A and B are shown apart, each in its own frame.
Chain A
Amino acid sequence: MTRSTSLTINGETHVVDVDHRTTLLDLLRHHLDLTGTKKGCDHGQCGACTILVNDRRINACLTLACMHDGDDITTIEGLGTPDDLSAMQKAFIKHDGFQCGYCTAGQICSATAMLKEAKAGWPSNVSSSLDGKGALSNEEISERMSGNLCRCSAYTGIVNAIREAAGETGQ
């Protein structure tokens, strides 16, 4: 059982006929050859598959492609290119925000969207006040990024990279 679905991915429109069971993650990797997005646990626990749907970060493994007809999707391939890296991508390289690199695409997509959430004044579980005006401390970054695991434990570099990118985007 399939359904015709139209999605805009990194600015390009794709019309695909997908089995209802196809997750958004499998559509990207297996049908559209956008293999930058990684499959880690496939159960929403590791964050390796984090992408942006309509500008919000989600786990691509826990949603079905057929549910996203008309949606605007950004993957790691849409954030920057090898010749024109995004500020977050540059900061991850500068601060060694990875070791094996498997979680990195998810980390960078997640962090990019997370900065927008913080800028919009969304509080977190560690915010002392709910007013959303607190500084983006290391503790805040760690809490807001807790949906992205790094088994190499490059967390120090990841936090430093996000801090730098946050500065560049006016945080």
Chain B
Amino acid sequence: MKQFDYSRATSTSDATRAASVHGSAIIAGGTNLIDLMKLEVMSPDVLVDINRLDLHQITPTQDGGLRIGALVTNSDLAAHETVRRDYEVLSRALLAGASGQLRNKATTGGNLLQRTRCAYFYDTAMPCNKREPGSGCHARDGFNRILAILGTSEHCIATHPSDMAVAMMALDAVVEVENTTGDTRKIALDDLYCLPGSTPDVETVLQRGDLITAVLLPQPKAGLHVYRKVRDRSSYAFALVSVAAVAQMDAGKIAQISLAFGGLAPKPWRNQQVEAALTGQAPSEALFDQAADILLAEAQGFGANDFKIPLSRRTLKAVLRTVTETSQ
């Protein structure tokens, strides 16, 4: 690990000021960042420790939603009474991720900003446009079994590894961000992430010095909440494909549905056209296939990850069967 300076933020303004300096990195749980620093994939000059900031609370909002402080751990969020009762898909997604030890340390803000697990990003002996812009991407023609089939570019096919963010996407979460001038802005989670395009090193719209202070959930969505994760082993593995679904039936038809997907793209993936095609319709295999056709219209495999195209179709259809059969 390369040498770095360490500073402990005592207020959010202190944190944004320290984080605005070139070469600095904010550290919260550190479960991803410290690993990347050991491997020298990331080598910040300064670590800004925000763990002492007062961002550990989960509180109701005035509009009937929930405000989740950026430092709330994945364990506390999954076990929170309101989340378990009203945002079940979020608890389920969190519990499907990582291990008990990691969930005790990983935070809400850090989970959103964790880096891809693409092996080429981790291996500093290999080129990687995300780690070293312009160096190339060997994943496209290499070991790409876990990598993306949607939203990729010729420069990068990495996936975003979070489960939590997939559920939050289906719940229309909004990210609250404070900047160096003390202003707070709200960014829809879908707008937080950038697709790789020609700049895969730019993963979010956040600017230097920005600090995620909270995630806001709107009022709970009625209906059945399901998180289905398909992976290489039954626990403690990243998703090959995951689907977060919240659906409500009315008189035999799908009254409302929201869907988000993990393991398929450089960001938690949502396609409102899929939801539009399902809404107001009576569930059927043909309808589910039509939804999968829309989701996968532009899907592209790179050899070893070709299987993800039929796998995501089957997983989506299985989830749709579950949410439409049991929430009649």
Interface residues of A (CB under 8 A from B): 1, 3, 20-21, 23, 42-44, 47, 50, 56-59, 62-64, 66-67, 110, 113-114, 117, 120-125, 127, 130-132, 142-148
Within 8 Å by CB of A43, from B38, B47, B49, B88, lies B38
Chain B residues near A58: list those with CB within 8 A. 101, 104-105
Cross-chain contact A66 with B38 (CB below 8 angstroms):
no
Cross-chain contact B100 with A20 (CB below 8 angstroms):
no
Cross-chain contact B236 with A146 (CB below 8 angstroms):
yes
Chain B residues near A44: list those with CB within 8 A. 31, 35, 101-102
Chain B residues near A117: list those with CB within 8 A. 75, 100
In the complex, whether B1 has a CB less than 8 A from a CB of chain A is yes
Taking the nearest CB of chain A, how far is it from the CB of B65, in angstroms? Answer: 19
Chain A residues near B38: list those with CB within 8 A. 42-43
Per-residue interface assignment for chain B, residues 73 to 107, with 1 indicating a CB less than 8 Å from any chain A CB and 0 otherwise: 00100110000110010011001101111101100
Subset of 24 A-B contacts with CB under 8 Å: A1-B6, A3-B6, A21-B1, A21-B3, A43-B35, A44-B35, A50-B101, A59-B101, A59-B102, A63-B31, A63-B105, A64-B34, A120-B79, A121-B79, A123-B91, A124-B95, A125-B92, A125-B95, A125-B96, A130-B91, A130-B92, A146-B100, A147-B98, A147-B99
Taking the nearest CB of chain B, how far is it from the CB of A20, in angstroms? Answer: 5
Cross-chain contact A1 with B105 (CB below 8 angstroms):
no
Closest chain B residue to A142, Cβ basis: B235
Closest chain B residue to A114, Cβ basis: B100
B: interface residue count bin: 20 to 34
Taking the nearest CB of chain B, how far is it from the CB of A26, in angstroms? Answer: 11
Which 3 pairs of residues, A with B, have the shortest CB-CB distance? A147-B99, A146-B235, A146-B236
Chain A residues near B35: list those with CB within 8 A. 43-44, 62
Cross-chain contact B101 with A123 (CB below 8 angstroms):
no
Give the complex CA separation of A143 and B38 in angstroms.
Answer: 28
Cross-chain contact B31 with A57 (CB below 8 angstroms):
no
Chain A residues near B1: list those with CB within 8 A. 21
In the complex, whether B245 has a CB less than 8 A from a CB of chain A is no
A147 and B49 contact, Cβ closer than 8 Å, known pairs A1-B4, A1-B5 = no
Cross-chain contact B47 with A20 (CB below 8 angstroms):
yes
Cross-chain contact B6 with A63 (CB below 8 angstroms):
no
A1 and B101 contact, Cβ closer than 8 Å, known pairs A120-B79, A143-B235 = no
In the complex, whether B51 has a CB less than 8 A from a CB of chain A is yes
Cross-chain contact B79 with A123 (CB below 8 angstroms):
yes
Taking the nearest CB of chain B, how far is it from the CB of A158, in angstroms? Answer: 14
In the complex, whether B30 has a CB less than 8 A from a CB of chain A is yes
Cross-chain contact B100 with A144 (CB below 8 angstroms):
yes
In the complex, whether B246 has a CB less than 8 A from a CB of chain A is no
Chain B residues near A148: list those with CB within 8 A. 99
Chain B residues near A59: list those with CB within 8 A. 31, 101-102, 105
In the complex, whether B240 has a CB less than 8 A from a CB of chain A is no
